[in-house]
Structure 1
Amino acid sequence: MNLAEEYAKRMLIGDGAMGTYLYEKGYSGSYESLNLSDPDLIKTIHREYVEAGSDIIQTNTYAANRIKLAKYQLEEETADINRRGVEAAREASEGRTFVFATIGGIQGLQKMEESEAEIIKAFSEQMDALIKAEPDGIILETFYDLQEITAVIKLAKSKTNLPIIAQVALGEVGVMHGGLPLGEAFKQMTAAGADAVGVNCRMGPYHILRSLEMTPLDENTLYAVHPNASLPDIDDGRFVYQSNPDYFYEKALDFQNQGIGIIGGCCGTTPEHIAQIAAAVKNTVPKKRAAQAVAQKTGQFSIVEPPSTEPSLREKAKQSTTVIVELDPPKKLATSKFVEGAQALYQSGADAVTMADNSLASPRVDNLAMGALVKSMTQARPLLHVACRDRNLIGLQSHLMGINALGIHDILAVTGDPTKVGDFPGATSVYDANSFDLIHLMKEMNKGLSFSGKSLGQNTTFTVGAAFNPNVRNVDRAVQRLEKKITAGADYFMTQPVFGEGQFKEIYEATKHMDVPVYIGIMPLVSSRNAEFLHNEVPGIKLTDTIRQSMAACGEDRALAAEEGIAIAKTLIDEAMEYFNGIYLITPFLRYDITCRLTEYIREKAAVRTEEKSK
């Protein structure tokens, strides 16, 4: 196969996920071993992708190397598993598609026990077995380490003339782990001998597209993308992805316009996603487009006295209109803009500024440190999220004792997004406790008892919030979870962003029996792409068609889109305030100017209502 010739003639459609597709069907363990134990199943899945429109299908050999197979005592089956993987794909294809042998990265973000030499030896063994089975090409995917993938590209070039597609997984938008720009990674992979380079896994279409927009694309280089369906969520202990095939139709066109000629899917994608990609771009020609840069601004701040003691956020929301505003801690070390934003929000009328605990499993400046800065340098009231993901019970108790020692008493207890979502997917998710356990444990600390039941010497004074996702099919079932959280000790609830105008009454009716305030989440949108990303890729958030159309009508005019987002948020606030005293504003991209305006709007609206009632 001459990949460059095929690429020049037409867009090439890849296939979708194998591992998560098998996972959804109830399979576990080594998916690659199914090449031996149930080859008909693997062939059936390959055929589904062929029928969906794939031009290239990948063998079920992603983790079929000796090191990873050893976890299942299958290392001696390495050669057979890889050989049968190619044969199964070839038999399923029946000559209708190209068959590329898949080799996945071995090194994650954690240090491996195996030496570098042992890892290369494992790659070599797998590669020999695959090449012997005569695929049409080789695809390297989900490599976190640039040194590893360039070594494997060179290894492949020393063994075969087959075309090589090499794909990395990114740490953040536009950069690999360690901060290496994607463009530099592409250059090094191409120099090592890759015939096509690209990005797969870790991110959905939105963030991979953003990464490409930030990256200069060489006119003579072939590019491939295989995004995840969305960010993953956890449902009853299982990873799940948004069901959004239609979204992939639009994004395939965006990728094509960005200069990408090979488009498929990774985790969470199915034959339905591939069918949409094929419907959008199959038999059309790749395009070329220049990259765009993104600029950031910084600000100054003033130091003021810390706040005085106030009623709890539970009591406040029971008595009058109360506003909590989320301001995520920065991902970089500069903190002045954040502190400036916290003070500005206070001056606009925010009752508390809440800080997430490494939301979406991406590291930020520690929210305890930021809470301490906010408390000492502004008049804002800090409300800290505490997630169970990153700390065992020892760490959780220590963290909470530190929070109490700093005089911070407002906490939102959350289980935490799985590490697979974030910048360090190889990191361990601890989950010694979940949000229910954490709420209970904090209430025990309020009695002066540690997690082990021993005395702490004095009581903590935490007021504990809990999360509520009303964007579900069955709100009543979600409310049953709230009732369990109340039993555990929750003092109030903060919801995911709500975008359905008729939804507020439904939430009110479902929760009005509870003697616990609900802070309704309102997230102002800043662009159509922001809206589509939230709707299609972020678990627990759904936008109405009307809102998406309104944002899309703004086109690329950022100022117009921001104003439209504010107008939509005001409409949602108007209805929310008919039913709830508590409003929870979520600041987009540290744009506190937007949430300041909305906070002021809420205060003005509340003042008018109070005046009307007094007449």
Structure 2
Amino acid sequence: MSLVTDLEQNKILIGDGAMGTLLYSYGSDFCYEELNLSQEEQIYNIHRAYLDAGADMIQTNTYAANYSKLERYGLQDQVKEINKAAVQIARNAARSKYVVGTIGGIRGIKPNSTPLDEIKRSFREQLYCLLMENVDGIQLETYYDLQELETVLEIARKETSLPIIAQVSLQEVGFMQDRTPISDALSRLENIGADVVGLNCRLGPYHMLMTLEEVPLPKRAFLSAFPNASLPSYTDGRFKYEGDADYFKECAHLFRQQGVRLLGGCCGTTPAHIHAFSSELKNLEPVTEKEVKQRKRKIVIQSASKSNYTPLCEEVKKKQSIIVELDPPRKLDTSRFMEGAKALKEAGIDALTLADNSLASPRVCNSALGSIVQSQLNLRSLVHITCRDRNLIGLQSHLMGLHTHGIHEILAVTGDPASVGDFPGASSVYDVTSFELIKLIKQFNQGLSLSGKELGEKTAFTVGAAFNPNIRSIDKAVERLEKKIAYGADYFISQPVFSEQKLIDTYEATKHIDKPIYIGIMPLTSSRNAEFLHHEVPGIKLSDTVRDRMGKHKDDPKQACKEGLLIAKSLLDTAMELFNGIYLITPFMRYELTVELAQYARANHPSLLARRSQNA
């Protein structure tokens, strides 16, 4: 008798519940899969508890027992030992009940977070270890990424004729995170060869049942559901699930009505939840027909209103464009900042760029100041967003806020690590890279969040990306630039350049790129300033000539500042012959310096495009 044969003979089978939840409640908080080696009796007792509660099938404690996940704990060389021990423990506990080898998804909410080749290697190794121990089937569970699940399912189906259970995790009712309808996803899994298809984890019975209402009975396979007990709470540093077993009793018959033939539990469920399912359904036959609910989905995604608005990336293609960075202040008095913004507006700049806590030091929120600048001065704000300070939740909330404030220009950057700033003990988040942040912003422009949820409106962000021409190999810098274009970058803003030759080299290396580049120019204020930038600020290098020129005036601050302006104007002369975009960086809130440079550029350099048309 096999698991599939039982399902074919009109039986409803009960699976087990959470392993990790019980281990966590017992005080374990390391690698649950390693406990197959060090705490065999504890794992055995949990299996027995679920079997005694009425489970017909138990899963091996191998959800994360693959190379990729065990590597986090330095256990990557024990894949075979951990999986072998897991099957043996489960087999000893199960006696005549079914034992399926569980393999969990590697990719989480971030698509493409792990390359498919790496996933395939890890999966094959774990699959072979489980098959060698003669499991009764394979359970693939908690897959957010349909591409990953389809990939590993194809491998498993080729390697074994044993029953395969393939389960996805909901992002929201009816959909996976890439907006694939669950009914379509399960149908695709059935066509690849899964014997049981269904849902597990992330959400509780309520949302799973709502989704299953829209899922027809499979043509060949069978439906499964392994809901969480509830949404978790977080109290005193511990996660806790509040869902009670009586609620699962009420839901058991609803799952049966939706055609589920394999019913178990995921996070937060205990033997009491499994007993609730078992006591209600043990002697009942599954339904063979169901009415599929066709939920009307009124999806209206409006485009953001941007009347008479031309993005910077389009303006700079038509005319010479100057943007200026003015850092938000470290203190709450914003009067000098606003004076600077007003003076720069009067100097004719096209946008004011505002860094996001540059050098990892807290400053007045750049989006708040950007909103004020736009509303009070009618000056376009270009707001920087770092990956450092916000997790995926905060980043998306921030983007929604920027859209609400009418800020459409964004520079996506990695951000200096927290260790270089005022609070070196603070955490650097880095949930995404700058590449992934660009892609996320572009997805907002499609009216979708990272998880695939509809935003109800399309944003209209134009995404700038950072470009550092100062590294030793300009070709490597251009490769990163090209990669950012592939992720959706609309234009680039460079680190400051302090050499005419470097400007020429940068132009030659990037002239094949069809995206505009704003080249960075920063006036130096003193010899100490020059040496600090050269030696201590990541991504900035000064030429020996510039450092020598500034060094000659190290004892004369006024003359040093004049020399810094002369150097910047000379760089401007070269830059404006080569690039249509100029990015002036204001040092130490000394906006009078960038005002003078902006005025110099406007007065001494007619439009580059006009000159080119005259020379054509």
Q: How high is the TM-score relative to the length of structure 1?
A: 0.50
Q: How high is the TM-score relative to the length of structure 2?
A: 0.50
